[in-house]
Structure 1
Amino acid sequence: MPPIPRAQLERLSYIDFRLYFLGQLRRSDLVARFGTGPAGATRDIAQYREAAPGNLEFDGTRKLYLPSASFKPLFEHAPQRVLSALSQGFGQGAAEDLSPLLRCEIPSALSVPRMSVLAPVTRAIHCGKALRLVYHSLSGEPGERELVPFALVDSGVRWHVRAFDRKSAEFRDFVLTRIESPVVLEHGEVGRHETAEHDVQWSRIVELELVPHPSHPRPDVIRLDYDMPDGVLRIKVRAANAGYMLRRWNVDCSPGLRLRGPEYALGLADPLVLYGAANALLAPGYRPPVAAASADKLQGSRQRDDTPESSR
């Protein structure tokens, strides 16, 4: 496809999306989505037909376009964006009247950050500024802190902000719902040591190999669930987030994959790859190598003590 303006590229992608995932397209769909008017919608459809001549057919009876039998998507559609659009609608503006494109059911979010907290945090991240706030920690009374935030993190259960904490002089995760009264320090300076490039846990990438859990009765189905034709799902994750991801998906990270239960469909092939990851203890069954070795030694000692004298 020759270079075209981004706005028109978005309209062509929308045409491709509706044909591919909804199976039909009307000019009114483009008018409603982009406000272009019937003539503009006709031109966009004509350009799409020129770029992908075998992709759509016109149904004169119903006055709509259908994907052809030989349809091949013109664009690469990211799965998460597709599912988001289908379940929540298109658009970014607050004035958008968004509605799902299909009937969808999404689990309720039990922990949602307040917009009055989220907005200062995201402004500080975007502008490279520090924040002054009150934080409610589980380990003590609420206290004032200064943070230098640089990323939002979705653990799958709640949202965190990754930041340099000037109180402890460490990089840590802070739960957004535990933040109160955040104020962006517009005129303060941020030191180089407070930036993401100096966060070792954030910069370190851990390569994980996940396999069907050996106790699962249908490993063939698990391979389908997680698209692992060779029996291994290989993913890369930041060391700072590894524990969140493994806990979210109930990946057994115990030595020898010893956990049992229907919730454990996956196992971590080599738990040693988590060594040094700060939040690895959140991963189901994970124990640092020294602790795991001590536990195995203790278990072996108990087994010897329980062995009948005649069989020793």
Structure 2
Amino acid sequence: MENQPVTIPWGTQKRLQYLEGKLYWEGKVNRGDLTAAFGISIPQASVDFTKYQEMAPQNIAYNASAKYYEPTESFSPLFIELSADAYFSTMSCSPTKSITTCESDYIAAVPNPSRVINLDVLRTLVQSIKNKKVVSVDYRSFNNPQPGNTRLISPHSFGTDGSRWHVRAYCHESNAFKDFVIGRIASAVIESDSDIDVDSDKNWFNFIDVIIGPNPTLNDAQKNIVAMDYGMTDFRLEFKCRIALLYYLMKKLGIDQNGSERAGNEQQIVAINLDEIKTAMR
């Protein structure tokens, strides 16, 4: 996918992206697809098709008998990313809906209950990060669940495990960088300028190579299935992760950090370099 000229309006780019996606993934597209998806007029859809033909004439051909456009053999994407993730996030539902709110029998997602975030708190955290400020927060943790557990923090980043968001910050009470679940911050007030060097948060700014593979307790056929599922090479898949996010990664992948030998049907993948990961997490 190539970068598009800034002279193309954002709305036009979204429609051309959708047009190209329908063309590639479904093998056909017409003006009605654009009018239904974006609520535009037929003349506007015609303009969009003309624009796309001007930009990528090698990609699209008109089937006069079927009255729709088809991809050519020389198709090369101009607007879309050719990946499964990109398809499911942008093409499987209406452009106005996310995968989690797609109302279709064609595709469904497991409900993911939203974690509540106080927008005033979030706004304060964003401003404190952008302006390097100390923030006084009323934080409700399991160790201190009662109101009034006020502490000073110097936030510098946001992180998520896919289920909830946290803010990465220096805690002036414990003199260490920590994660604070944003939904558990009852209130936040900017106090003063922060003199914390955020670059000293080594666990946030440093990465480690994580290597996963099939659980050794699986038989060869089962190992091949896991390798195919994750796109492993030689039964290994290696990728980078921030050290500060390793705990969440292990939890998300269902990998037992104690290294106990769980059955393969309970834990299909293992961390091959678990000792290195555990050392980095200390």
Q: TM-score of the superposition, structure 2-length normalised? A: 0.79
Residue 90 in structure 1 maps to residue 95 in structure 2: yes
Q: Which runs of 5+ in 2 are unaligned?
A: none
Aligned partner of 1:64 in structure 2 is 68
Q: Deviation digits for residues 240-261 of structure 1, max 9, x if unmatched?
A: 0012112211235555x73324
Could you tell me how far apart the structure 2 residues matched to 1:82 and 1:126 are?
A: 33
Of the structure 1 ranges 23-32 and 221-230, higher mean CA displacement relative to structure 2 is found in 23-32
Could you tell me how far apart the structure 1 residues matched to 2:86 and 2:131 are?
A: 26
Of the structure 1 ranges 112-121 and 148-157, higher mean CA displacement relative to structure 2 is found in 112-121
Aligned letter for 1:55?
A: N
Change (3 A) 1:201 1:4: closer
Matching residue within 236, 239, 242 for 1:235: 239
Q: Which has more radius of gyration?
A: 1
Report if aligned partners of 1:87, 1:101 keep a CA contact under 8 Å in 2. no
Q: How many residues align?
A: 270
**Greater relative contact order (Cα < 8 A, sep 6+):** 2
Q: Deviation digits for residues 120-154 of structure 1, max 9, x if unmatched?
A: 43444445444332111111244112322222222
Aligned partner of 2:204 in structure 1 is 202
Could you tell me how far apart the structure 2 residues matched to 1:158 and 1:224 are?
A: 29
Aligned letter for 1:231?
A: F
Aligned partner of 1:131 in structure 2 is 135
Could you tell me how far apart the structure 2 residues matched to 1:111 and 1:226 are?
A: 28
Aligned partner of 1:26 in structure 2 is 30
Could you tell me how far apart the structure 2 residues matched to 1:165 and 1:154 are?
A: 19
Matching residue within 104, 108, 112 for 1:109: 112
Could you tell me how far apart the structure 2 residues matched to 1:268 and 1:145 are?
A: 36
Report if aligned partners of 1:86, 1:100 keep a CA contact under 8 Å in 2. no
Change (3 A) 1:88 1:136: farther
Report if aligned partners of 1:207, 1:273 keep a CA contact under 8 Å in 2. no
Could you tell me how far apart the structure 2 residues matched to 1:100 and 1:23 are?
A: 23
Aligned letter for 2:194?
A: V
- Report the Cα offset of residue 199 of structure 1: 0.6
* Percent identical residues: 27
Could you tell me how far apart the structure 2 residues matched to 1:85 and 1:127 are?
A: 34
- Report the Cα offset of residue 180 of structure 1: 0.7
- Report the Cα offset of residue 28 of structure 1: 4.4
Matching residue within 162, 167, 170 for 2:173: 167
Q: TM-score of the superposition, structure 1-length normalised? A: 0.72
Change (3 A) 1:237 1:66: same
